[in-house]
Amino acid sequence: MYSTKYTFLSLFIAAALVGGALYTTSDEREVLVDNVSNNMAETVTATTFLAKNTDEERVIIDVRTPEEYDSGRIRGSKNINFYSPTFTQEVDKLDKSKKYSVYCRSGNRSGQALALMEQLGFEDVIDLGGGVGAWTHIGQELCIDC
């Protein structure tokens, strides 16, 4: 019984410490996500993605399928299907000195696109962490005929 009591207490304290370390405010999470990389290719929160896309020089690329793109997209985005066999060639043709923002449904494909673009020598690329789900979560809309 003595041992069980201290084992439980140890587990409780460990869980509290881990839980406290994992809990952050939304502002703290944004800083954590945005500071993952010091180079110009990074995954950012939806709020940061929105703020950075006020720059008219930034090109927004939706890497979802054409069907997903047609069902609703971020205004002004261009579709380059991640699953297309020519995806790498299409991306490699883009002007590497321009600023790019990439997104997908959940952040998986766009995260892979971000890594590819960094390898191909793009200078400034951001990825929407959480994809269109994160985008709509902050109150932004997807458009169909835009």
Q: Distances from the Cα of 83 to the Cαs of 63, 113, 125, in angstroms?
A: 8, 11, 20
Total count of residues recorded for the chain = 146
For the chain, the helix, strand and coil percentages under 3-state DSSP, each to the nearest 5: 45, 15, 40
Average pLDDT, the chain: 81
Query: Architecture of domain 25-137 in CATH?
Result: 3-Layer(aba) Sandwich (3.40)
Task: Say whether pLDDT at 20 is over 70.
Answer: no
**The overall pTM is greater than 0.85:** no
pLDDT of residue 36: 38
Nearest to 43 by CA among 114, 138, 117: 114
pLDDT digits (tens, 9 = 90+) for 78-134: 999 999 999 999 999 999 999 999 999 999 999 999 999 999 999 999 999 999 999
Q: Where do the structural domains in the chain lie, given as residue ranges?
A: 25-137
DSSP 131: H
Q: How many CA atoms lie within 13 A of 128 on its CB side?
A: 32
